[in-house]
């Protein structure tokens, strides 16, 4: 993978007020608020004042969802929200999440209708803006691109990527058939 020339500046969302919803795995209710971020902060979650970067370095294996873990705290089902942020070009934001039970060390992101659509609509409603550094400057970002096919697999899962002029994603899931 290579880095291309700077193509545009980092983006942040405007403030998205609390969105409350039921969570798919536990059935509990949680609340999410998305705050604008500075360039270079990236996307990260805040749960009970603990900051958990939305980074592969904090991913832990979970059945049927993606979980981010740090210092004994776990945020589950992050993929719908993070996909919406990526699709809408939001590079930098603080995702504040709360469980209705203040003693919880785990929380899930609500997924509403099961897609990322509610998150996409919330982002579109408030819009996005240039993410500035702490000195108030606009910073250009580099975009990765592939110069040759890339393949990775683990157990029964795999991912393959091909060089292309625009992003196209296909995915699927094949659950075992019951007898």
| Segments making up each domain of the chain, as ranges | 11-130
Please give the Cα distance from 50 to 72 (Å, whole number).
Answer: 10
Measured CA to CA, the distance from residue 116 to residue 19 in angstroms comes to 13
Q: Which CATH superfamily does the domain covering 11-130 fall into? A: lpxc deacetylase, domain 1 (3.30.230.20)
Residue-wise pLDDT tens digits, 62-77? 888 899 999 999 999 9
CB 93 within 8 A of CB 127: no
Grade residue 6 by pLDDT with cuts at 50, 70 and 90: very low
Instruction: Using pLDDT thresholds of 50, 70 and 90, give the confidence band for residue 39.
Output: confident
pTM of the model: 0.74
| CA–CA separation, 113 and 22 (whole Å) | 10
């Amino acid at each position: 993978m290579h880095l291309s020339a700077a193509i545009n500046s980092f983006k942040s969302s405007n403030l998205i007020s609390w969105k409350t919803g039921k969570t798919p795995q536990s059935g509990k209710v949680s609340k999410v608020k998305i705050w604008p971020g500075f360039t270079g902060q990236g996307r990260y979650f805040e749960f009970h004042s603990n900051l958990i970067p939305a980074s592969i370095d904090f991913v832990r294996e979970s059945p049927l969802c993606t979980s981010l873990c740090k210092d004994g705290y776990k945020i589950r089902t992050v993929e719908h929200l993070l996909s919406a942020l990526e699709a809408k070009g939001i590079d930098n934001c603080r995702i504040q999440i709360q469980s209705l039970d203040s003693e919880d060390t785990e929380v899930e992101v609500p997924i509403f209708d099961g897609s990322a659509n509610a998150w996409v609509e919330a982002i579109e409603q408030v819009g996005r803006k240039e993410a500035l550094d702490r000195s108030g400057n606009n910073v250009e970002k580099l975009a990765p691109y592939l110069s040759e096919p890339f393949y990775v697999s683990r157990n029964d899962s795999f991912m393959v990527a091909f060089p292309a002029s625009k992003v196209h994603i296909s995915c699927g899931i094949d659950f075992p058939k019951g007898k």
